[in-house]
């Protein structure tokens, strides 16, 4: 499809990216005229993408996170391609029934494009409920079952965490998201979820490969090979609720705690969820290793669009959320959330609700993007003016 003399605002209609809300120096852009523009291709410049990548590396930037399923990577647009996501998405996770590590050439190319051009981090979500899940079998995995004996579980979990790392690196991902659901996940034999000794050691071993602990120069790696820098470590699921994180996990090494805050539509309910994460982290807070504000700034709230795509559920409340309790032990904390996101984001692709900010695609996601970065920018400017 081509059109003659297409005049369009580089900011809104062409880019369609709400991340400009947080970048005031980019908002004064002259309209650009294009002749014989191919609308099936991108019209964005190298300078645009360089600025996008630089913006995504801003320290303390809240994250826009999505679980991405129904992924084919065949078309550069639509709900089946990472390239079809709004540019402002910072972390996309491969979730769904398709392969996690045996990626097709189309998926590999699609992922490489958003990583290298858009600066989007792509991680993989695994349940990892049992030692050996999703990686090639090793004999050391055999016979561990529900053991809590360090001599038995130590070698197996160490080998398993390294095998996950190896698969992540070989596939080209930017990190790993552990979907931890010990009470809600069901199934039998899910000992990495239900056995406290196993799950505690699993988090420790993962921290040698992913997140802040993987590059800690003061940490003895115990003979483990060096880890690739910059790989993200996320835990989602029963964080601050139900099965919870154990307080002795090395959870201060985790980059982001991703809450399945499904159906949470009020600040009161979100305050409760975030307070639960602070409770899970309370021993490390008490030891001075991390602050409550840092915990909140690593906490991402997500909505379930498998159930709430038609109404948006709580996504607009979640994307505006600031943890600011008026009473209790956390009174005085005033911290914007670390990010927001969607489970099964593809359900938001073609809502048929009209345009938001110049685009009909990802109707609620784009509004959430505007919310979170507008608040981020306002708070940043307020601090700068003090």
The closest alpha carbon to 22, from 11, 31, 30, belongs to 11
Query: pLDDT tens digits, residue range 36-85?
Result: 334 345 668 999 999 999 999 999 999 999 999 999 999 888 899 999 99
Query: pLDDT tens digits, residue range 247-261?
Result: 999 999 999 999 999
Tokens matching residue 106: 């189309």
Please check whether residue 108 is in contact with residue 83, taking contact to mean a CB–CB distance below 8 angstroms: no
Average pLDDT over residues 141-145: 97
Rounded to an integer, what distance in angstroms lies between the CA atom of residue 18 and that of residue 38? 23
Average pLDDT over residues 193-210: 98
The number of beta carbons lying within 10 Å of the beta carbon of residue 311 is 11
Tell the CATH superfamily of the 62-364 domain: Glycosidases (3.20.20.80)
Give the pLDDT confidence score for residue 374 in this predicted structure: 98
Q: Tell me the percentage of the chain whose pLDDT exceeds 90.
A: 84
Rounded to an integer, what distance in angstroms lies between the CA atom of residue 84 and that of residue 358? 15
pLDDT exceeds 70 at position 11: no
Longest dimension (CA), the chain: 72
* pTM of model > 0.75: yes
> What sign does the CA torsion over 88, 91, 97, 103 have?
positive
Where are the chain's structural domains? 62-364
Give the pLDDT confidence score for residue 385 in this predicted structure: 86
Give the pLDDT confidence score for residue 41 in this predicted structure: 52
Q: How confident is the model at residue 357 (pLDDT cuts 50, 70, 90)?
A: confident
Rounded to an integer, what distance in angstroms lies between the CA atom of residue 286 and that of residue 56? 31
Give the pLDDT confidence score for residue 187 in this predicted structure: 87
Which of 30-34, 176-180, 215-219, 357-361 has the least mean pLDDT?
Answer: 30-34
């Amino acid at each position: 499809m081509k059109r003659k003399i297409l005049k369009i605002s580089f900011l809104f209609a062409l880019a369609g990216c709400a991340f400009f809300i947080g970048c005031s120096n980019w908002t004064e852009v002259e309209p650009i005229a294009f002749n014989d523009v191919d609308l099936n291709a991108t019209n964005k410049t190298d300078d645009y993408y360089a600025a996008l990548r630089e913006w995504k590396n801003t320290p303390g930037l809240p994250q826009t996170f999505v679980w991405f399923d129904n992924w084919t990577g065949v078309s550069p647009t639509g709900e089946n391609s990472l390239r079809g996501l709004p540019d402002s998405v910072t972390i996309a996770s491969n979730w769904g029934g398709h392969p996690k590590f045996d990626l097709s050439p189309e998926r590999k190319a699609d992922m490489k494009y958003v990583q290298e051009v858009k600066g989007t981090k792509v991680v993989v979500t695994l349940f990892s409920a049992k030692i050996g899940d999703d990686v090639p079998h090793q004999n050391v995995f055999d016979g561990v079952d529900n053991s809590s004996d360090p001599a038995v579980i130590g070698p197996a979990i160490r080998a398993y965490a390294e095998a996950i790392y190896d698969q992540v690196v070989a596939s080209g991902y930017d990190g790993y998201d552990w979907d931890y659901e010990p009470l809600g996940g069901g199934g039998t034999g899910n000992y990495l979820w239900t056995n406290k000794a196993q799950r505690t050691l699993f988090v420790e071993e993962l921290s040698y490969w992913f997140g802040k602990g993987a590059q800690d120069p003061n940490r003895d790696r115990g003979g483990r090979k060096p880890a690739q820098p910059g790989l993200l470590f996320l835990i989602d699921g029963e964080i601050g609720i139900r099965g919870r994180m154990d307080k002795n996990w090395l959870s201060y090494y985790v980059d982001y705690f991703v809450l399945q805050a499904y159906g949470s539509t009020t600040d009161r309910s979100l305050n409760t969820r975030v307070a639960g994460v602070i409770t899970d982290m309370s021993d490390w807070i008490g030891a001075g290793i991390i602050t409550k504000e840092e915990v909140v700034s690593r906490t991402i709230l997500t909505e379930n669009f498998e159930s709430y795509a038609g109404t948006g559920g709580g996504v607009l409340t979640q994307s505006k959320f600031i943890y600011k309790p008026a009473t209790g032990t956390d009174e005085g904390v005033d911290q914007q959330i670390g990010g927001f996101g969607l489970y099964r984001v593809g359900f938001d692709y073609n809502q048929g609700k009209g345009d938001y900010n110049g685009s009909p695609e990802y109707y609620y996601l784009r509004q959430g993007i505007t919310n979170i970065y507008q608040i981020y920018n306002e708070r940043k400017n307020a601090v700068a003016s003090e």
